[in-house]
Each structure stands twice: as C-alpha cells, then as structure tokens.
Structure 1
Amino acid sequence: MTASSCRRKTVARSRIAAVGAVVVAGSLLLAGCGDQTKGKDSSASSASAPLADKLPAQIRDAGVIKVGSDIAYAPVEFKDDSGNVVGIDPDLAAAMGKQLGVTFDFRNGTFDGLLTGLRSKRYDVAMSAMTDNKSRQEGVDPSTGKKVGEGVDFVDYLTAGVSIYTRKGDTKGITSWADLCGKKVAVERSTISEDLAKAQSKKCPKGKAITIQAFDDDQQAQTRLRSGGVDAVSSDFPVAAYAVKTSGGGKDFEIVGDQVQAAPYGIAVAKGNTQLRDALQAAMNAVIKNGEYEKILEKWGAQNGAVQESVVNGGK
C-alpha cells in the first residue's frame, strides 16, 4: 500500500498495474494465511535451491519465512474462493522460495499492524504492497515528523501509483485530488492514500475539508463506496484497476483522474537483519533474470509496474 505505512507508485497501494490461482509454496502450493504446512518442501529443498546458503541459518533450517500481510488487497494479495492466498506477492514469494529453498508462509494482519509485528518478531518480513519511502525506512510518522520506531529496510520489487475511483457514472465531478475538497473519501488506514487525503484536506478552502473515512482493509472501503456512504475511494492503482474490472462485473466503479505518487513496493525487513535482506534481494533478482517475474506480472496485469532490478531502500 502506498505511502504512509504502505500498499500501497510509478504506474499501475502505490498497499502497479491492473490486477486467482493457487499460490505456490516454495515451488508448489502456498496455502491460506498461516495454515500452510511448515518445514521444507521436498521440491524446494536447499539441495535444489541455488541461493539457500545466503539465508540466515535459523531460517534456512526452519525452511519457512513468516510473512506479515494484509490479505485483502486484490490483486496484490487476497484469498480466492477456496480460501487460498493468491496474487502478485504470493506468486513472487513462491518463485523466490524456489531460489532460497524455503516456503513463504503468509499470515494475515491489518496493514497498520504489520511493521509492529515485524518489530516484535511475529513476522520475519512484511510483504503487502507496502510502499518503500523514507518515513518507513527511518521509522518516522509522516503526519507529525516524529520518530515512532526503528524503521525498516526494503527490498524493492515493483512500482505503483495511487488512484481515485468512484461509483460508475456518478463521479461527482471528481477528476483530481483537489476535487475531493468538501467530499467524502474512503481509504485503507495507514496507507499512502490516507496520507495524501490528509495532505490535500489541509489545502482545501475553509469549510471544504475532506471527510476521510479510514478502514482496516480496502474491501471495506469498496463496500462503503458501493453503498453510497462516500463519494470516492483512493488506493494503489493495481488495486483500483482490479476493483474497477471485477466488482459487479465491471459495472460498479470507474477510475477518475491520473495516478499520482509513483513509488516502489518493497519487502520490509527489520533493521540489522541484513543477511535476510540481501538473500531476498538476490532471490528477487534471480526471479527477474530467469523470466518468472515477467510471467507473474503479466498474469495479474501488473507488467506496467515492472522493475529491471531489485534494489534496497530505493524509495524517496
């Protein structure tokens, strides 16, 4: 999710491009949220994984990387009709798992609690359409400028922008962020979208502040818009595009205006855990080089957000 703590920016939650399938664990199926089989899969064993030795010994021996994720952000990560965790992030994680000889175990959590869970070591990483920016790298609250944590490192893997969408045929004249003044907008809590809405509201004329309704996940924001409780929703472009394409068979929503705030998505790793960070970067670059990356992005319509190389802390 671009911005604040997030999902959620170059083209196509900032929480990539427009928008399941079964998630592969290691090299096979990655099951739903925290209920996967732990330990090493025979097909993703260290013996067949070229980058296994790069991992910290504890993770390599366990055969599992615990991933904190808000699994309600289609098409980046969500549950299919069978309850399996699917999407861009799970597919990329599965491809990385083949390189590292481990399974990525996606564990559901609210987006605004993912970095807290990372700090408390409930997760090894957070992978959830999270925008890499300086505030998160440095552990600073973007609204106050105050230090709120130790910050994290990011392994960047995709670029996305932030979009606004409305009910189809009922745009309320909204074509830009300035048009939200005096209107109601729904966002996912602790995302770039929420940060942008707060920043724009401060610029609005007196008496025309934006009424911001923040929810735990993007699906709740969509429901609010569908019911007419707000005038618009803001989220990362890939998520907005997927919602427009799929909700009500494409009859519920429409995107208005252009994307803004293009920035990289990154896998968050605790400061100091440089061995895991560097192993993830090597695995992502291997997946980019061998062509799996391109195939995964094309599968989910996110190829416009492709990067040529994974870098560490590329967000500004």
Structure 2
Amino acid sequence: MTARSTRRSATTRSRIAAVGAIAVAGTLLLTGCGDQTKNKDRGSGDTSAPLADSLPDEIRQAGVIKVGSDIAYAPVEFKDKSGKTTGIDPDLADAMGKQLGVRFEFENGTFDALLTGIRSKRYDVAMSAMTDNKSRQQGVDPHTGKKVGEGVDFVDYLTAGVSIYTRKGQTGGITGWPDLCGKKVAVERGTVSEDLAKIEAKKCPSGKKLTIEAFDDDQQAQTRLRSGGVDAVSSDFPVAAYAVKTSGGGKDFEIVGDQVEAAPYGIAVAKGNEQLRNALQAAMTAIIKSGEYQKILDKWGAGDGAVKESVINGGK
C-alpha cells in the first residue's frame, strides 16, 4: 500500500500504501525477517473499552491480538532507532486497540509466510500492507490457479498502488513496466510487484529478457539496487517514496513513471473467524468516524489513500 493507471486483475497482490508525498524522514533501523519481535507496549488492555464485548472471549480474556507482519517496510511498519515497532499499521492498531480494550502484539515474519502463520494459528491476524484480492480471499495461487489454502477474509482500511524506482540520475530510460524488458528488477518475494514483473516478463520480445530477482524483504531489494546489481526496484508506492526520501539523504533513488494497480490494503483474518473480523471492522469504523484514522495517515504522508468506510473483502 494514485497518479496512475489502474489495470488490476484478480491475479495480482501487493503491499501498497497511498497517494501523496511521504512526509516523514529519518534513518530506518532494520530487523531481520526471521526475528520474532514482539511490541508489547501497544493497546490499553482495558476491557471497559467501547467495543471490548465484540471480541471473541479468548482474545478478550488474553488482552492481546497477535499480529503477523513483515516489520521492514517503512513507513507502513518498521523499527525506529529505539527498536520500537512504528508506522502506519502499528499506529492504526494502537487506535483500534483502545476501542477493543486489547493490545496488538506485532511479530516479525517474512511476508510470504504470513497467511500460513494465520492458518497454523501462530497469528490471529496479518497486518502488513497486504493487498486484499480474490486470490487471497479464495486461497488460490495467482500464477497456477490451484487451491493452496482455505483463504482469508480482509478488513479493508487503505488504498494504494505500485511504483518503480531506480538509482538517482540512472533511470536507463525506464518510465513504466514495458521498459523493464532487457533489464534486471528486484522485488520482494510474494508481492504484487513480483506478480507484475512475471506478467511483464512473458510479454518481453525475444532477446530482451526481463530478469527478476526476488528477496525476502524490500530492504534487501534496495541494497541490491544501491550496489548497482539491478536496474530498478518495484514496491508499494509509500515504501518507494519513503526510500527515495530517506536513502542517502534523498540522493540514492528516484521514482520513475506512474503508480499502477490501485487496490485496498486489508487486515487478514482466518475464514470462519467472523467474530474477530467483525470486531476489527467495527474498531476501524470507529476510528474513521472519530477522525483519528485520518490524523494517523496524514502523519505518515498517506492521507490521500484514506477510505471513507471499512469494508470486508472489497478487493477484486
């Protein structure tokens, strides 16, 4: 999770975040995707909160919602200099936690394993700039069309698109996806960016192969671009914009072309867990109505991606 074209298909998926300039700056403290980093200071744990009774009994009694997240995706979720989990998603979770009387405990994991973590009950939900689309809802592999799981439900909360960026002053003539033919692009594994790159690779003419390098997290892709190992990186717009703003003091990268594939971010919840899903939707609706939601998005430069209401499974 646009100044963009919109050609989303049911086969694509992403982590996208919003139109508008990213107004935040600062140095990103990275965390390894394999870490299990728990952020225990979020939420009130107050069972007298307005929506506490809407939660499943076991979660209300525990006072915790366990969240699977790839916490290396600034400004959506990342570690600040003190090691605290921060960003758009954690701030929204904080606000929702006050409505629900629980804290949201973020655990770090690789992005492409988050839905598996929900199925295994390692996490109650996944909140990680995850695009809501039909393939995820249905548990279908977007490339093969084969069933790979029972699917998840999404509580939608933001709209965003996908961008391409290059080394600053070294665009190589790249202005959009077709220009990647004959070049190398780095992406995060399991994202819409990887899906789009694979789709584009099939369209490239003979002798102009698009080489795709997929990494466990976006920071690795950025490092590869910074070193000159690839020609471009694709990621969600807010992440691309944040990288352009902060890396090398704004001297490392530049965004090329328009955003594409505008779609909603959603909080993923296991099929059959309607009570938790509906409680999360009620909490998101409450902070949207109170105005706290818009303040959080504006804080991170993502206000243009705000939604007027939270819906369930709004992705296509």
Is the alpha carbon distance of 1:275 and 1:17 closer, same or farther for their aligned partners in structure 2, counting shifts above 3 Å?
farther
Q: Report if the CA contact (8 A) 1:165-1:256 is conserved.
A: yes
- What is the correspondence of 1:52-67 to structure 2 with a 5 Å cutoff? 52-67=52-67
Q: CA RMSD in A?
A: 1.9
Which string of whole-angstrom CA distances, capped at 9 and with x for unpartnered residues, describes residues 38-77 of structure 1?
9xx6x44011x10011000000000000000000000000
Is the alpha carbon distance of 1:123 and 1:186 closer, same or farther for their aligned partners in structure 2, counting shifts above 3 Å?
same
Partner of 2:14: 6
Q: Report if the CA contact (8 A) 2:16-2:159 is conserved.
A: no
Q: For residue 164 of structure 2, give the secondary structure of its aligned residue in structure 1.
A: strand
Is the alpha carbon distance of 1:83 and 1:121 closer, same or farther for their aligned partners in structure 2, counting shifts above 3 Å?
same
- 1:270 counterpart = 2:270: yes
Partner of 1:18: 22
Provide the TM-score with structure 1 as the length reference. 0.91
Which string of whole-angstrom CA distances, capped at 9 and with x for unpartnered residues, describes residues 82-101 of structure 1?
10000000000000000000
- 1:33 counterpart = 2:34: no
Partner of 1:140: 140
Q: For residue 244 of structure 2, give the secondary structure of its aligned residue in structure 1.
A: helix
Q: Distance in 1 between matches of 2:283 and 2:45?
A: 13
Q: Distance in 2 between matches of 1:315 and 1:19?
A: 27
Q: Distance in 1 between matches of 2:124 and 2:160?
A: 24
Q: Report if the CA contact (8 A) 1:118-1:124 is conserved.
A: yes
Q: Report if the CA contact (8 A) 1:69-1:109 is conserved.
A: yes
Structure 1 residue 209 displacement after superposition: 2.1
Q: Distance in 2 between matches of 1:58 and 1:34?
A: 20
Q: For residue 46 of structure 1, give the secondary structure of its aligned residue in structure 2.
A: coil
Q: Report if the CA contact (8 A) 1:19-1:241 is conserved.
A: no
Give the partner amino acid of 2:16.
Answer: R
Q: Distance in 1 between matches of 2:157 and 2:285?
A: 9
Q: Report if the CA contact (8 A) 1:19-1:238 is conserved.
A: no
Q: Distance in 1 between matches of 2:119 and 2:239?
A: 27
Structure 1 residue 201 displacement after superposition: 0.5
Partner of 2:155: 155
Partner of 2:106: 106
Q: Report if the CA contact (8 A) 1:281-1:310 is conserved.
A: yes
Matched positions, count: 298
Q: Distance in 1 between matches of 2:24 and 2:86?
A: 6
Gaps of 5+ in 1: 22-31
Partner of 1:46: 47
Q: Distance in 2 between matches of 1:33 and 1:296?
A: 23
Q: Distance in 1 between matches of 2:268 and 2:69?
A: 11
Gaps of 5+ in 2: 2-7, 26-35
- 1:233 counterpart = 2:233: yes
- What is the correspondence of 1:63-142 to structure 2 with a 5 Å cutoff? 63-142=63-142
Partner of 1:176: 176
Is the alpha carbon distance of 1:37 and 1:159 closer, same or farther for their aligned partners in structure 2, counting shifts above 3 Å?
closer
Partner of 2:283: 283
Structure 1 residue 5 displacement after superposition: 5.4
Provide the TM-score with structure 2 as the length reference. 0.91
Partner of 1:27: none
Give the partner amino acid of 1:310.
Answer: S
Structure 1 residue 37 displacement after superposition: 6.1
Q: Report if the CA contact (8 A) 1:20-1:86 is conserved.
A: no
Q: Distance in 2 between matches of 1:246 and 1:159?
A: 23
Q: Distance in 1 between matches of 2:39 and 2:238?
A: 27
Question: What percentage of aligned pairs have identical amino acids?
Answer: 78
Q: Distance in 2 between matches of 1:166 and 1:286?
A: 40
Q: Distance in 1 between matches of 2:272 and 2:39?
A: 29
Is the alpha carbon distance of 1:46 and 1:17 closer, same or farther for their aligned partners in structure 2, counting shifts above 3 Å?
farther
Q: Report if the CA contact (8 A) 1:4-1:194 is conserved.
A: no
Give the partner amino acid of 2:243.
Answer: A
- 1:245 counterpart = 2:245: yes
Give the partner amino acid of 1:71.
Answer: I
Give the partner amino acid of 1:257.
Answer: G
Structure 1 residue 7 displacement after superposition: 1.3
